[in-house]
Amino acid sequence: MKKLNVLTIVMAISAVGFVHITMAESDEGRVSLLASKKTTEAIKDIDNSKLDVKKTSVEALKNAASNSFSLAQIKAQQLNYPEAKAYYQQAVQLDPDNTLYLNSLGLHLYTMGEYTQAEPLYRRSLAIRETALGKNHPDVAISLNNLAALYHAQGQYAQATPLYQRSLAIMEKTMGKDHPDVAISLNNLAGLYQTQGQYAQAEPVYQRSLAILETTLGKDHPDVAQSLNGLAALYHAQGQYARAEPLLQRSLAIREKTVGKDHPDVAQSLNNLAALYQTQGQYVRAEPLLQRSLTIRETTLGKDHPDVATSLYNLAVLYGAQGQYAQAEPLYQRSLAILETALGKDHPDVAQSLNNLATVYQTQGRYAQAEPLYQRSLVIMEKIMGKDHPNAQTVRENLKALQVLIKQR
């Protein structure tokens, strides 16, 4: 029997697929995520939810919103995402035209995989900034980048591309070609190229991004870790495993040192390093990394987050590759359910899950269950990625192989 082609999701943290580095706000809102104990104590007992917006002065509302926003940042840094969300929402409610609050809530919802709720916040922030600051202001570039990242995560590549490109052009013009935010724009644009199988276009863009970040921020900065992840994922996709592994190991080491061993970014690095080992058949090395990644994500992001689906999916791939189909099947099914809810039924990562669940059914001789999954996967791949994308070709080959087996029965 022809060996079936299983698709592995490599990059994922706040979205299945490539992870986008979000940009720091400009001087209107550079607020540190680190707060002193004194600041935390001063804010924690404030309950702004009971304020009567109609009877409270504008100045008092803005002060209350600022307190809510500060506490949201503290909670987010503590990885207490549900409470952070509530405080970000409170800040927006109290000061609804503050683009820092709008954009920050959008970023937080994006991190939690709540893409539908994030989009109107991003759009509103962008509209306000374009009107107030002009269409070529760096803060407009930030809003464009983050809206593009949202579309990228949802598989809406045609909508993401011009936004990334416009963001990059603004950044290069206003900040100079070697600014860290330019590197972030480059990194995200490279990720989009990679997602679409445009590897030759992606590599020099990744390399330029990494060079800028290492020079401007230092070799141990978290953004450097993300850039390393992106370049490693590209090498992985091209089968250049020896070039990918040291980049992933370095990325993991930076993240464990800078953000802590239980941070979702660490889970991403663990997931990607495990995926690399898995591709090379090093299952014993891969499994504990995937298990640790899954635990971190379920704890910090919640059990229905798209990144949890990624960890479940890759763990299922691991078990399937070892012939442990009884263990793989429920993981694929749970992953697929999460992805369909979070990303929609026509997302490329849903198509990957469908393909791999179909391979499990096919290997067990359950052809009638496998065929419609392959067919649905292929329709999604061809629609979103194009007929010539490597993943579309993989699914097409799997479907043809299955149909040959069905005829032979």
- What is the model's pLDDT at position 240? 96
Q: Which residues pair with 12 in a beta bridge?
A: 16
Per-residue pLDDT tens over the stretch 275-318? 999 999 999 999 999 999 999 999 999 999 989 998 999 899 89
Q: How far apart (Å, rounded) are the C-alpha atoms in residues 255 and 325?
A: 34
Predicted confidence at residue 347, as pLDDT, reads 85
Over range 355-373, report the average pLDDT.
93
Asked whether the predicted pLDDT for residue 386 surpasses 80, the reply is: yes
Q: Which structure tokens are listed for 348?
A: 């490329």
The verdict on residue 399 lying in a domain is: yes
- Residue 49 pLDDT level (bands cut at 50, 70, 90): low
Token duo for residue 63: 């002060």
Beta-carbon contacts of 23 under 8 Å, excluding residues fewer than 6 positions away, are 141, 142, 145, 146, 181, 184, 185
Mean pLDDT of the chain: 86
Whether 119 is covered by a domain: the verdict is no
pLDDT of residue 198: 93
| Domain presence at residue 184 | no
**3-state class (DSSP) for residue 145:** helix
Instruction: Give 16's strand partners.
Output: 12
In a domain, 379, yes or no: yes
Spatial CA neighbour of 360 closest among 315, 317, 312, 403:
317
CA distances from 246 to 232, 236, 278 (A): 8, 12, 16
Within a domain: residue 258?
no
pLDDT classification of 50: cutoffs 50, 70, 90: low
| Overall average pLDDT of the 146-168 stretch | 93
The band of 16, judged by pLDDT with boundaries at 50, 70 and 90, is very low
| CA-based nearest residue to 187, from 220, 136, 236, 222 | 222
Predicted pLDDT of residue 110: 87
| Closest of 351, 360, 355 to residue 381, by C-alpha | 351
CATH code, 319: 1.25.40.10
Length in residues, the chain: 409
DSSP per-residue letters across 63-100:
HHHHHHHHHHHHHHHTT-HHHHHHHHHHHHHHSTT-HH
- In what helix (H) or strand (E) does residue 353 lie, and over which residues does it extend? helix 348-363
- Read off the pLDDT of each residue in 102-117 and give the average, rounded to a whole number: 89
What pLDDT is recorded for position 12? 30
Structurally, the chain folds into a number of domains equal to 1
Q: Note the Cα 231 to chain centre separation in Å.
A: 15
Confidence check: pLDDT of 75 > 70: yes
- Give the model's pLDDT for residue 78: 82
Query: What is the C-alpha to C-alpha distance for residues 353 and 334, in angstroms, rounded to an integer?
Result: 10
When mean pLDDT is compared across 41-45, 203-207, 324-328, the lowest value belongs to 41-45
- Give the chain's radius of gyration (CA, Å): 22
Summarize pLDDT for 244-253 with one digit per residue, the tens: 999 999 999 9
Residue 224 has pLDDT above 80, yes or no: yes
227 inside domain: no
- Residue 99 within a domain: no
Average pLDDT for 74-86: 87
Query: Looking at 6-10, 199-203, 225-229, which range is the least confident one?
Result: 6-10
pLDDT value for 53: 56
Structural domain that includes position 370: 1-12+263-409
Sequence-separated (6 or more) residues with CB below 8 Å from residue 301:
81, 111, 112, 113, 264, 307, 308
Report the alpha-carbon distance of residue 356 to residue 336 in Å, rounded.
10
Residue 10 is classified by DSSP as: -
Segment 362-378 mean pLDDT: 94
- Residue 242 makes CB contacts below 8 A (sequence gap 6+) with none
Mean pLDDT of 153-159: 90
What is the structure's pLDDT at 56?
66
Question: 193 with 201: CB under 8 angstroms?
Answer: yes
123 vs 59, which has greater pLDDT? 123
Confidence band of 48 (pLDDT split at 50, 70, 90): low
Segment 22-36 shows an average pLDDT of 35
The pLDDT of residue 97 is: 94
Identity of residue 308: V
